[in-house]
């Protein structure tokens, strides 16, 4: 098991945002986490990557308990988190943003190789290499955020709404790239508003409702579940 | 209804009374014109004396620049005005004093290599003194950050600010103790001898006991050292921040700490590093200041610290080139005021500049309006 979460509880002050959730991601999988606004999807990812400390429960990654590990250590272990809302470093150029993505890598040639890899997926970034991150369009920022998350060669990448704000064509494109990344051996935990798209490329999925997992199964099962159809797929 | 009246109220508060604002601007323009008039008059009447004053202003401004860099870098990364910075500068001067006076550390090159070129020996000796001061000040600043500021990183900014003032007072009053630095003025022994030249029909060395001819401009090796050291420091910093991984990480951390952590950046280390760099520059400034004005005391850091802070605000706090430019302006303002208005005015002018900047352009020369980030 690559990632195993057991009975995780997270609070923001008095707000009980995650109420004992358990799930897992196996090597090579794409797993989706779907749920309404405020369900706790982003909170889950923040707990995994060490940005917030869970009150109880456990997270194990590659067999090691990382429940209370600092974010820097978790990145070094091979988990990369592309946060919600892109979070590009606005005063840094595209190149510098990518270099920060590769912060934990010291080998220069390795960084150059990863940069080329990212440019293959997002040729637009290459054209804008010396532009400031803050001056990119929303869609370009999303590409940069995803590309930056790939720079440290993660074994598991957490993607929080990678299609947000993208045009329909770019949405197709980003999902194609996600599948490509997965085919190259990176496992993916995907949070999406666009449940239909997410389920179409996932192996498995979990449904999160106000801090609890209410449904789990293969992507097909979830997509065919009547309640899911009604609530998330708009069918 | 209620929301409308609230809105009107807040608009009323933030809009300055236009008549008063107009008078204020008019007065400022008058002052500026008057200052220009005084400067122009003196420039025309005695151009060499004026040039001499500008040169002296540069000397002071360059030292302020070294201190201002620390204020601006620390503010850039933790949004804190580190009021203890001026006292770190003072410690830098005292460390070099002890190293020269009691350890005689500046003469080691001659002791070790008796045949060494005297200039090289001086350079090596002085660099050694500066490095020692830097090391001590870096350790001091990092300790201050860890002990006093880090626990307050998520507290409201005002808490850290008041703590910074507290740390500053602690260092000052601890230093004032008789068995520490005491409250006395202490004559400072330079690690190298001063040499002076005058410019008039070429450059000539000033001989001891001989007055320089009228209408000449004098400068010393100390001035040269200050200019070279400050320019090198500024270039080093630009290189660090623009080209190196840790420098880019500093800028990333300054912009967004949680996302910086997601990159694997150890934010605590980056913050310590920033305090360290600022303290190293303050130490360099402290040693050079003591060499230039060779009498030191425990409270020597207070005014230069505050003035360098004004320089950083004037240049745009958070901006590295801004700190440099602001400091040069401050140096000129101070020396020219003391030469052409009155000597006691030199401190007043610094804080007048602060007030004027805060009124007219709070973001300073190079500053951009701060965007509130979540
Ligand atoms: N910093 C915070 N302080 C207090 N409450 C928070 C904080 N962040 C999130 N919450 C609350 O925790 C709950 C879960 O938020 P979360 O951001 O994880 O939702 P989400 O599933 O990602 O929603 P969305 O689809 O809108 O992004 C929400 O009720 C939210 O209001
Ligand atoms: Mg979210």
Check residue B274 and give its pLDDT. 97
Asked whether residue B241 is assigned to any structural domain, the reply reads: yes
Please report, for the domain that includes residue B142, its CATH number.
Answer: 1.10.3470
Which ranges of chain A have pLDDT less than 70? 235
A34, A38, A51, A161, best to mutate for ligand 1 pocket (most atoms within 8 Å of CB): A38
If you measure from the C-alpha of residue B152 to the centroid of ligand 2, how many angstroms do you get, rounded to a whole number? 28
Note whether A96 and A191 are within 8 A (CB). no
Asked whether residue B10 is assigned to any structural domain, the reply reads: no
Query: How far does Cα B311 stand from its chain's mean position?
Result: 7
Over residues B227-240, the mean pLDDT reads: 96
**Cα gap B22→A17, rounded to integer Å:** 54
Mean pLDDT is highest, among A48-52, B12-16, B364-368, for A48-52
Over residues B157-167, the mean pLDDT reads: 96
**Cα gap A4→B16, rounded to integer Å:** 59
Using a CB–CB cut-off of 8 Å, the residues of B that contact A are: 245, 248-249, 251-252, 255-256, 258-266
Over residues B74-91, the mean pLDDT reads: 96
Asked whether residue B268 is assigned to any structural domain, the reply reads: yes
- Chain B residues with CB under 8 Å of A152 CB are 263-264
Residue intervals of chain A classified under CATH 3.40.50.300 are 3-78+155-231
Q: Which residues pair with A33 in a beta bridge?
A: A191, A206
Note whether A144 and A177 are within 8 A (CB). no
Task: Find the CB nearest B248 among A51, A90, A100.
Answer: A100
Protein residues with CB under 6 Å of any ligand 1 atom: A 12, 15, 17, 35, 37-43, 84
Nearest alpha carbon to residue B219 among B52, B22, B46, B35: B52
Confidence of residue B21 (pLDDT cuts 50, 70, 90): confident
If you measure from the C-alpha of residue A155 to the centroid of ligand 1, how many angstroms do you get, rounded to a whole number? 26
Tokens of B358: 């805060």
**Cα gap B205→B363, rounded to integer Å:** 45
pTM here? 0.91
Reduced to 3 states (helix: H, G, I; strand: E, B; else coil), residue B69 is helix
Q: How many domains does chain B have?
A: 1
Tokens of B27: 């007065």
For B119-155, what is each residue's pLDDT tens digit? 999 999 999 999 999 999 999 999 999 999 999 999 9
Tokens of A226: 């009547």
**Cα gap B215→B163, rounded to integer Å:** 51
ipTM of the complex: 0.95
**Cα gap B312→B308, rounded to integer Å:** 6
Q: Scanning every residue of chain A, which has its alpha carbon at the shortest distance from the alpha carbon of B371?
A: A90
- Chain A residues with CB under 8 Å of B252 CB are 89, 92, 96, 100
**Cα gap B24→B355, rounded to integer Å:** 12
Nearest alpha carbon to residue B81 among B171, B138, B162, B155: B162
Over residues B95-122, the mean pLDDT reads: 94
Confidence of residue B369 (pLDDT cuts 50, 70, 90): low
Confidence of residue B374 (pLDDT cuts 50, 70, 90): very low
Over residues B207-217, the mean pLDDT reads: 86
Check residue A20 and give left, alpha or beta (phi > 0: left; psi -120 to 50: alpha): left
Check residue B10 and give its pLDDT. 44
- Chain B residues with CB under 8 Å of A12 CB are none
Nearest CA owner, ligand 1 atom 6: A12
Q: Scanning every residue of chain B, which has its alpha carbon at the shortest distance from the alpha carbon of A52?
A: B258
Tokens of A18: 């995650």
Tokens 């000449």 belong to residue = B216
Asked whether residue B114 is assigned to any structural domain, the reply reads: yes
Confidence of residue B27 (pLDDT cuts 50, 70, 90): confident
φ and ψ of B192, to 5 deg: -145, 160
Torsion sign, CA atoms B311, B314, B318, B321: negative
Ligand 1 atom closest to Cα of residue A39: 21
Check residue B13 and give its pLDDT. 47
- Chain B residues with CB under 8 Å of A90 CB are 255
Asked whether residue B286 is assigned to any structural domain, the reply reads: yes
Q: How many residue pairs bridge chain A and chain B with CB atoms within 8 Å of each other? A: 61
**Cα gap B90→A223, rounded to integer Å:** 69
Asked whether residue B186 is assigned to any structural domain, the reply reads: yes
Neighbours of B140 (CB within 10 A): 22
The more confidently predicted of residues B2 and A96 is A96
For B306-341, what is each residue's pLDDT tens digit? 999 999 999 999 999 999 999 999 999 999 999 998
For A93-111, what is each residue's pLDDT tens digit? 999 999 999 999 999 999 9
If you measure from the C-alpha of residue A123 to the centroid of ligand 2, how many angstroms do you get, rounded to a whole number? 28
User: Which residue range(s) make up the domain with B274?
Assistant: 46-360
Task: Tell me yes or no: is domain A3-78+155-231 CATH 3.40.50.12780.
Answer: no
Tokens of B215: 């209408």
Residues 6+ apart with CB under 8 A from B245: A99, A103
Burial class from Cβ neighbours inside 10 Å (0-12, 13-18, 19+) for residue B11 reads exposed
CA distances, B147 to each of A129, B48, B72, B164 (Å): 41, 51, 21, 11
If you measure from the C-alpha of residue B176 to the centroid of ligand 2, how many angstroms do you get, rounded to a whole number? 55
A13, A40, A192, A214, best to mutate for ligand 1 pocket (most atoms within 8 Å of CB): A40
Q: Which residues pair with A58 in a beta bridge?
A: A6
**Cα gap B52→B85, rounded to integer Å:** 30
* Helix H or strand E encompassing A22: strand A15-25
Residue B99 has pLDDT above 80, yes or no: yes
CB contact under 8 A, B252 and A152: no
Buried b (16+ CB within 10 A) or exposed e, A71-84: bbebbebbbbbbbb
Reduced to 3 states (helix: H, G, I; strand: E, B; else coil), residue B219 is strand
Reduced to 3 states (helix: H, G, I; strand: E, B; else coil), residue A4 is strand
Note whether A98 and A141 are within 8 A (CB). no
Burial class from Cβ neighbours inside 10 Å (0-12, 13-18, 19+) for residue B111 reads exposed
Quick one: three-class SS letters along chain B?
Answer: CHHHHHHHHHHHHHCCCHHHHHHHHHHHHHHHHHHHHHHHHHHHHCHHHHHHHHHHHHHHHHHHHHHHHHHHHHHHHHCCCCCCHHHHHHHHHHHHHHHHHHHCHHHHHHHHCCCCCHHHHHHHHHHHHHHHHHHHHHHHHHHHHHHHHHHHCCCCHHHHHHHHHHHHHHHHHHHHCCCCCCCCCEECCCCCCCCEEEECCCEEECCCCCCCCCCCEEEEHHHHHHHHHHHHHHHHHHHHHHHCHHHHHHHHHHHCHHHHHHCCCCHHHHHHHHHHHHHHHHHHHHHHHHHHCCEECHHHHHHHHHHHHHHHHHHCCCCHHHHHHHHHHHHHHHHHHHHHCCCCHHHHHHHHHHHHHHHHCCCCCCCCCCCCCC
Query: Starting at the edge strand that comes first in sequence, how are the strands of the sheet with B217-220 ordered?
Result: B203-205, B196-199, B217-220
Nearest alpha carbon to residue A74 among B266, B142, B132: B266
Nearest alpha carbon to residue B64 among B337, B338, B360, B313: B313
């Amino acid at each position: 098991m690559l990632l195993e979460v057991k009975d995780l509880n997270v609070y923001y002050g008095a707000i009980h945002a995650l109420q004992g959730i358990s799930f897992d991601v196996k090597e090579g999988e794409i797993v989706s986490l779907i749920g309404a606004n405020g369900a706790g999807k982003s909170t889950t990812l923040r707990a995994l990557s060490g940005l917030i400390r869970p009150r109880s429960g456990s997270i194990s990654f590659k067999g090691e308990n990382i429940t209370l590990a600092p974010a820097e250590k978790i990145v070094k272990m091979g988990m990369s988190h592309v946060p919600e809302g892109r979070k590009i470093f606005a005063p840094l150029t595209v190149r510098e943003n990518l270099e920060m993505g590769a912060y934990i890598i010291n080998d220069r040639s390795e960084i150059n190789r990863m940069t080329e890899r990212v440019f293959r997926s997002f040729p637009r970034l290459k054209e804008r290499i010396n532009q400031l991150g803050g001056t990119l369009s929303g869609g370009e920022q999303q590409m940069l955020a995803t590309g930056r998350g790939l720079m440290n060669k993660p074994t598991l990448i957490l993607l929080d709404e990678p299609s947000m704000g993208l045009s329909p064509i770019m949405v197709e494109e980003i999902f194609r790239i996600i599948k490509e990344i997965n085919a190259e051996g990176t496992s993916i935990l995907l949070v999406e508003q666009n449940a239909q798209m997410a389920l179409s490329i996932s192996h498995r999925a979990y449904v999160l409702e106000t801090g609890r997992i209410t449904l789990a199964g293969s992507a097909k099962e979830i997509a065919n579940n009547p309640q899911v159809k009604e609530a998330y797929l708009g069918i | 209804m209620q929301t409308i009246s609230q809105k009107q109220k807040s608009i009323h508060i933030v809009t300055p009374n236009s008549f008063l604002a107009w008078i204020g601007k008019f007065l400022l323009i008058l002052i500026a014109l008057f200052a220009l008039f005084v400067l122009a008059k003196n420039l025309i009447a005695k151009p060499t004396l004026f040039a001499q004053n500008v040169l002296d202003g540069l000397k002071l401004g360059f030292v302020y620049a070294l201190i201002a860099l620390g204020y601006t870098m620390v503010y850039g990364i933790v949004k804190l005005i580190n009021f203890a910075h001026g006292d770190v500068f003072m410690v830098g001067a005292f460390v070099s004093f002890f190293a020269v006076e009691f350890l005689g550390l500046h003469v080691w090159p001659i002791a070790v290599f008796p045949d060494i070129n005297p200039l090289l020996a001086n350079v090596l000796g002085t660099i050694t003194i500066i490095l020692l001061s830097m090391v001590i000040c870096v350790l001091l600043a990092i300790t201050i950050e860890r002990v006093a500021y880090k626990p307050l990183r998520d507290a409201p900014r005002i808490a850290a600010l008041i703590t910074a003032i507290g740390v500053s007072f602690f260092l000052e009053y601890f230093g004032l103790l008789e068995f520490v630095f005491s409250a006395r003025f202490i004559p400072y022994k330079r690690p190298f001898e001063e040499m002076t030249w005058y410019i008039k029909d070429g450059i000539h060395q000033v001989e001891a006991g001989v007055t320089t001819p009228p209408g000449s401009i004098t400068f010393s090796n100390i001035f040269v050292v200050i200019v070279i050291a400050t320019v090198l420091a500024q270039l080093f910093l630009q290189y660090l921040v623009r080209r190196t991984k840790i420098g880019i990480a500093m800028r990333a951390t300054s912009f967004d700490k949680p996302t910086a952590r997601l990159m694997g950046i150890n934010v605590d280390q980056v913050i310590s590093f920033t305090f360290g760099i600022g303290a190293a520059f303050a130490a360099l400034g402290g040693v050079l200041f003591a060499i230039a004005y060779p009498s030191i005391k425990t409270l020597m850091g207070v005014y230069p610290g505050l003035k360098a802070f004004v320089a950083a605000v004037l240049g745009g706090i958070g901006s590295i080139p801004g700190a440099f430019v602001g400091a040069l302006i401050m140096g000129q303002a101070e020396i020219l005021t003391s030469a052409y208005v009155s000597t006691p005015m030199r401190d007043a002018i610094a804080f007048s500049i602060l007030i004027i900047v805060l009124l007219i352009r709070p973001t300073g020369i190079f500053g951009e309006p701060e965007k509130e980030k979540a």
